[in-house]
Structure 1
Amino acid sequence: MGIYGLTRENIQNSLDGKLLDNDDPVVLTVKTGTIHQDYIPGIKEIKQRITSLQGRNSYTKETITHMVNKMDLEEVAYISFEDSNTRGLTGARNGQSDSKEDTWAIYAYNKGVHFEEEDEAVETSRGGSHGVGKIASNAASDLHIMFFANCDKKGNQHLGGTVQLVEHKYNNQAYRSTGYFADIKSIGANKTKFYPFENRFHEVFEKKTRGLKIIIPYLREQYNDESDIIKSICDSFFISILENRLVVNVNDKVINRETIKDFVSDEKYYIQDIAEIKHEFTPLYIDTFLNVAPIPLTISDMENDYHFKLYFRYDEAIPKGRVAIVRTIGMKIEDKKVNNNVNKPFNAVLVAEKAEDGYLKSLENESHTQLAFDHIKDVRLQKNAKRFINSLSKEIAKIIEEAIKKNNKTDGMMDTKDILYLVENQFKQDLADAVATVKINKGKSLVKVTTDIPKKKKKNKPNDKEKPEKPRKKVKRVKPRSGNEGTNGDEERLKRYSAHPDIVERLLIGNKEVVQFDFNDSKEINGEKSCNISLSIIDGMGVEYKDEFKIKDNYNTVIDGTSGKQCKIENNLIKNIAINNGIAQLKLEPKPNFNKALKFVYYVEV
């Protein structure tokens, strides 16, 4: 997730470490700059290790080459995250320790382990417990190194750090991939123990007030963008900031509850035209959260009821509907897409009550960016989590439907028999002429199929002259869209034509789907042995949504009906489907969440 993942992890850790008896907001200071490599602690030892690394595959070889190319830079970019009004780490003077009270030992020397609060309510509200955690900072460094400076309640100042390399040999001794910036002291016969260094290093590594400071030298270029840092903070923690639980200083810019609206209203950071907001929804979320009264929402799984506050806004100007799922800590988990409602004009913020926060926490994926159930190992709990997530979509969908009905009322009574006849036939006409069910490339016309639709007889008037009926176009050329090149880069750009739905037959039986394509009357495909096929959704008015349907998200398997082999799916394209005697056939197994009411337009590449 780049800089977004890095800021989320470090701000989350700072919020988790808030002073429990203090109502002041956590203050986080983010700084970017450069430092001479000579001031980086332990850099000589790290360089020696890097030069001894050997790649065993293409990935490790590329990684090592990149590290070697970067390690001799004299001026090195860095980023630091320093928090205050936080507890910091305890027990640094004890070094490696088995005591749960010594949070320094847990943070510094244990991967995949976190300190647990004695207060169950506080522990539940914490942002972290599993996931990418501490190694997110290593991933942001070209040399995979990070440091953490700590000042505890008594004013003790220490510096630790880690480096993530690959397993290697150094001076004929084998080493694991993780290295620690620590002082090794003997504690008995053949026994040693890690202890942190007293922090007497360069000012970039100083931490003189209580709390923790993360320092990442050799910062990757793609992470070093102040605008992205500010946006990632606003996107993930807008509620914490609006509720004055968090203040963030990014270099000389302050983001707090008074200024956050200035950032999200600035074209430098966000699109301001509501009709163009299709990917970044923070300006809408903040407007919704501040100006709409919350409504209570209850979501049930197979065992329990969970209670939330939903801030919901219906606005015809909004092109994409999303729901911000927010934890009690004030961190947004995801921009949730509600099934079958992604293009509805609404915006919403769902905030967990304290009692429900623990369950939401258990559903977070490893990067804390989505509610999921795949990571849950217990079958019963996984099934329950799946039920909860599906119920969440269903309940919000009901609210969306009610809002649409409320804002699109109908009045009075009218005779609709003539209107329905005209609408039905006009839709058939438009569908046949403008929206293809099958489209092929190579710039040639499709099979000419009849698209005759019965027309309502027109009454003759006395002075009417009979006019010869114009021949209808049975095949209509449509303008190609970008990205329709064939799979081979040498193939010409696709030319798109529309054809009548008679070419395709689709059958749904239980949890099985069969789609058959009959190309026997098509000279363009006659003689071809195979083809590629992709799908797009079409709605009841004939509008096509080219990028909404993902094959892998909706089908467990796709089988070639001729060969019986499983088809390869690449770039949302079903590839190399055999054509036998002019017939191509697919046998598909939809996933449980598949919407059987969907209608498709099919694209054929040969």
Structure 2
Amino acid sequence: MQLKFDDNQQWKFSPIPNIEEPLFNRSLERFKEMGVKGLTRENIQNSLDGKLPGSDKPVIVKIKTGEIHEKDIPGIEGIKERIKCLVGHNKYTKETIQHMQNKLDQKIVRYISFEDLNTKGLTGARNGQSNSKKDTWGIYAYSKGVHFEEDDEKIEIARGGSHGVGKIASNAASDLHIMYFANCDENGDQHLGGTVQLIEHEYKGRVYRSTGYFTDVRYDKNNNAKFFPYENRYHEVFKKDTRGLKIVIPYLRKEYDNDIEIIKTVCDSFFISILKNKLIVYVNDKEISKDTILDYVNNEKYYEQEITEIKKEFTPLYVNTYLNCTPKKIVINNIAQDFHFDLYFRYDERIPRGRVAIVRTIGMKIEDFIVSNNATKPFNAVLIGGSKEDEYLKSLENEAHTKLSKDHINDEKLKKQATRFINNLSKEIAKVINEAIRVNNKTDGLMDTKDILYVVETQFRKELEKSLGTVRVKNGRTLVKSFGSESKKEKRNKKQKTGVENKANGVRKQKRDPLKWQKTHTEIGDKFEDRERYSANPEMVDRVILGDREILRFNFFKSEQLVGIQTCDISFSVIDGMGVEYNDEFKIYDSYKEVIDMNTGQTCYFVKNVIKNVRINNGIAQLQLRLRDTLHGSLKFVYYVEV
């Protein structure tokens, strides 16, 4: 089908017969959610991918924010006209279009630019829309969901991009979904292109696709259209006269206009590249290089410096670990083959949350990896492999390059291998963690604790006779309030007497329990049953560790819901210092050798984080647990009672 474009417009939209998908590109919303972090990460990664082959010079990226008059933005009037014509067909598109239209009257516009040096830039701009793999201008400028592949396999493996959607991160950063790219190639040719992401729309009586290109168009003798870039003779903000690429994003979203977050993203994602002098980044007047990165990482303006409070942003820990720890060799198998990594590992009791920075050889961090069942262990680590490992990690990255995942893999065999790799990654690092805990928590020798345990138990009985705690369900509401020293008989007689009096007076005063039971679908053998589950307030649980044993005592005496219940299951759930709960992080076997029910003297059966069939005598359940060397004594728990 031959296309006829509006040659009077600098922005070109392909005509279509009718509107079929009046929706914005879904990737826009994904990158909007990532904010300035996603934008900065994607553009710096693209610059590292474009490093000049054979050069020892670091890639330099200059990030600038500023203002530009709207009349100096190339072709903006044509885009504004189309945005005024957009029609939303659901709540989201209506709200987005309204937001875009509200930005059209700005005269002074905020922008952000990313300019790289010591990079190749895009090639083949003179050839325009050539469909040749060698002409990277055509691929970058006119293709969606496609990325250029290097002829050199080693270079291709090391590159960060692979999904071909990263370009849209720049569109997502603009209130009008608009971005420009200025290029200077090896011949000194300077060109300017751009893309805008709208929705399928009607304009001047014709219907057009959602994506527009800032480009010229030429026709061959058969009247077939072909895109060619404009020579760059535009405003200084769009100028690029040294080899490389420059991204310019006008109508910058307010939430993206944040130098501190940009600097933190540079350090978070590229600290290895910077420390290895592969990358230098300038954010306006601030330089982030191997000589200055510690000025930001160790600055409380940017990062929390108190180790015990580092719970979300781990970069200060990663940098310290990488610079000061000798790497350990670990091997991860994915069923088909082994992968060899260097693990820079640090054990420190002050660290509240354990994370592993998984880093590609390009120097870009993929994610803060959580080792299964070890999220609250006191360690920090950095994992780096070689080219073979890089290639495999690249295949596991999600499209935003922020997580290892199997979800995007369609081949069942490869998906199974990915699952095994991710699971084994946790297992092998867990071995290193447990060994570090064992070495750093050695006991001073054996001691006979029988008499001590007897004294502790006797003291428990005396103290708990004076006051009992409370029990609450999972949502935190109180089951039974604390009470004084009335005996069971006195309490029972008082309740019966009150009931008789109320009945005699014809008044119904039934004390209504303020809680509903919380059901859980629990596996019992090969079947599932609905059971009631409560969480125990710390006030009604006594816990003491003595040598190689731990005693737990639960008092359910005042819980009407548990009246007549003789056995229960008790499960453990780890909770951190901020009160955040990790339901599946703790496994009893990893920390305890044996669990003894002190009411029966029998060994209890346990599975995962649940102790089964604990006896309740007179409202009291008591457990004695034999410790393993790997138990981290500072762990805090929420205990769940299931009946």
TM-score, normalised with respect to structure 2: 0.72
Task: Say whether residues 1:400 and 2:415 are aligned partners.
Answer: no
Q: Percent identity?
A: 60
- Are 2:124 and 2:138, in contact at CA under 8 Å, matched by a contact in 1? yes
Pick the aligned partner of 2:473 from 419, 423, 438.
438
| CA spacing shift, 1:424–1:318, aligned 2, 3 Å | farther
Pick the aligned partner of 2:532 from 517, 534, 553.
517
How much has 1:172 moved relative to structure 2? 1.6
Deviates more, 1:299-308 or 1:129-138: 129-138
Query: Equivalents in 1 of 2:394, 2:123: separation in Å?
Result: 25
Query: Equivalents in 2 of 1:437, 1:511: separation in Å?
Result: 30
Residue identity opposite 1:346 in structure 2? F
How much has 1:435 moved relative to structure 2? 7.3
Pick the aligned partner of 1:417 from 450, 455, 458.
450
- Are 1:538 and 1:544, in contact at CA under 8 Å, matched by a contact in 2? no
* Residue correspondences, number: 504
How do 1:27-176 residues align onto structure 2 when only pairs under 5 Å count? 27-130=60-163, 132-176=165-209
Rg larger in structure: 2
How much has 1:599 moved relative to structure 2? 8.5
- Are 2:182 and 2:190, in contact at CA under 8 Å, matched by a contact in 1? yes
How much has 1:308 moved relative to structure 2? 0.4
Residue identity opposite 1:256 in structure 2? S
Residue identity opposite 1:438 in structure 2? V
Query: Equivalents in 2 of 1:505, 1:117: separation in Å?
Result: 54
* Secondary structure of the corresponding residue to residue 176 of structure 1: strand
- Are 1:334 and 1:369, in contact at CA under 8 Å, matched by a contact in 2? yes
Query: Equivalents in 1 of 2:337, 2:460: separation in Å?
Result: 46
Query: Equivalents in 2 of 1:341, 1:88: separation in Å?
Result: 44
Pick the aligned partner of 1:311 from 344, 349, 362.
344
| CA spacing shift, 1:510–1:296, aligned 2, 3 Å | farther
| CA spacing shift, 1:505–1:441, aligned 2, 3 Å | closer
Query: Equivalents in 2 of 1:322, 1:426: separation in Å?
Result: 40
Pick the aligned partner of 1:238 from 271, 281, 287.
271
How much has 1:184 moved relative to structure 2? 1.2
- Are 2:61 and 2:115, in contact at CA under 8 Å, matched by a contact in 1? yes
How do 1:179-578 residues align onto structure 2 when only pairs under 5 Å count? 179-420=212-453, 436=471, 438=473, 446=480, 507-509=522-524, 514-517=529-532, 538=573, 546-549=579-582
Query: Equivalents in 1 of 2:68, 2:237: separation in Å?
Result: 8
Query: Equivalents in 2 of 1:33, 1:424: separation in Å?
Result: 70
Query: Equivalents in 2 of 1:15, 1:506: separation in Å?
Result: 50
Residue identity opposite 1:538 in structure 2? S
Residue identity opposite 2:573 in structure 1? I
Query: Equivalents in 2 of 1:510, 1:188: separation in Å?
Result: 77
| Stretches (4+) displaced over 2 A | 416-430, 432-442, 444-449, 468-472, 496-499, 502-515, 521-526, 535-539, 542-551, 598-604
Query: Equivalents in 2 of 1:298, 1:518: separation in Å?
Result: 41
- Are 1:437 and 1:601, in contact at CA under 8 Å, matched by a contact in 2? no
Q: 1:383-433 CA deviation, whole Å, 9 max, x = no partner?
A: 110000000001111110000010000122211223455667889999x95
How much has 1:340 moved relative to structure 2? 1.2
Query: Equivalents in 2 of 1:402, 1:470: separation in Å?
Result: 51
- Are 1:536 and 1:546, in contact at CA under 8 Å, matched by a contact in 2? no
- Are 2:179 and 2:248, in contact at CA under 8 Å, matched by a contact in 1? yes
| CA spacing shift, 1:524–1:433, aligned 2, 3 Å | closer
Query: Equivalents in 2 of 1:441, 1:550: separation in Å?
Result: 16
| CA spacing shift, 1:213–1:312, aligned 2, 3 Å | same
- Are 1:447 and 1:523, in contact at CA under 8 Å, matched by a contact in 2? no
Query: Equivalents in 2 of 1:599, 1:278: separation in Å?
Result: 18
Query: Equivalents in 1 of 2:531, 2:203: separation in Å?
Result: 62
| CA spacing shift, 1:200–1:422, aligned 2, 3 Å | farther
Pick the aligned partner of 2:54 from 21, 25, 49.
21
Query: Equivalents in 2 of 1:167, 1:424: separation in Å?
Result: 74
Query: Equivalents in 2 of 1:543, 1:145: separation in Å?
Result: 43
How much has 1:185 moved relative to structure 2? 1.2
Residue identity opposite 1:517 in structure 2? E
How much has 1:471 moved relative to structure 2? 6.4
- Provide structure 1 residue ranges, at least 5 long, that are not aligned to the other structure: 450-467, 475-495, 527-534, 552-597
- Provide structure 2 residue ranges, at least 5 long, that are not aligned to the other structure: 1-33, 492-512, 535-556, 563-569, 585-635
- Are 1:55 and 1:64, in contact at CA under 8 Å, matched by a contact in 2? yes
* Secondary structure of the corresponding residue to residue 343 of structure 1: coil
What is the match of residue 483 of structure 1? none
Query: Equivalents in 1 of 2:533, 2:197: separation in Å?
Result: 56
* Secondary structure of the corresponding residue to residue 531 of structure 2: strand
Query: Equivalents in 1 of 2:165, 2:487: separation in Å?
Result: 64
How much has 1:21 moved relative to structure 2? 1.7
What is the match of residue 598 of structure 2? none
Query: Equivalents in 1 of 2:359, 2:282: separation in Å?
Result: 22
Residue identity opposite 1:348 in structure 2? A
Q: 1:297-317 CA deviation, whole Å, 9 max, x = no partner?
A: 100111110000000000111
Query: Equivalents in 1 of 2:112, 2:432: separation in Å?
Result: 43
- Are 2:174 and 2:250, in contact at CA under 8 Å, matched by a contact in 1? yes
| CA spacing shift, 1:69–1:334, aligned 2, 3 Å | same
Q: 1:307-353 CA deviation, whole Å, 9 max, x = no partner?
A: 00000000111111110000110000001111111111111000122
| CA spacing shift, 1:503–1:84, aligned 2, 3 Å | closer
* Secondary structure of the corresponding residue to residue 220 of structure 2: strand
* Secondary structure of the corresponding residue to residue 309 of structure 1: strand
* Secondary structure of the corresponding residue to residue 581 of structure 2: coil
TM-score, normalised with respect to structure 1: 0.77
Query: Equivalents in 2 of 1:74, 1:362: separation in Å?
Result: 45
- Are 1:29 and 1:81, in contact at CA under 8 Å, matched by a contact in 2? yes
Q: 1:170-194 CA deviation, whole Å, 9 max, x = no partner?
A: 1121111100000011122331111
What is the match of residue 540 of structure 2? none
- Are 1:439 and 1:498, in contact at CA under 8 Å, matched by a contact in 2? no
How much has 1:132 moved relative to structure 2? 3.5
Residue identity opposite 1:349 in structure 2? V
Query: Equivalents in 2 of 1:314, 1:262: separation in Å?
Result: 24
Residue identity opposite 1:189 in structure 2? N
Q: 1:341-389 CA deviation, whole Å, 9 max, x = no partner?
A: 1111111000122221000000001111111101100011001100000
* Secondary structure of the corresponding residue to residue 325 of structure 1: strand
How much has 1:548 moved relative to structure 2? 2.8
- Are 1:446 and 1:497, in contact at CA under 8 Å, matched by a contact in 2? no
- Are 2:111 and 2:252, in contact at CA under 8 Å, matched by a contact in 1? yes
Query: Equivalents in 2 of 1:425, 1:515: separation in Å?
Result: 37
| CA spacing shift, 1:518–1:243, aligned 2, 3 Å | closer
- Are 2:124 and 2:135, in contact at CA under 8 Å, matched by a contact in 1? yes
- Are 2:573 and 2:582, in contact at CA under 8 Å, matched by a contact in 1? no
Query: Equivalents in 1 of 2:76, 2:641: separation in Å?
Result: 56
- Are 2:238 and 2:248, in contact at CA under 8 Å, matched by a contact in 1? yes
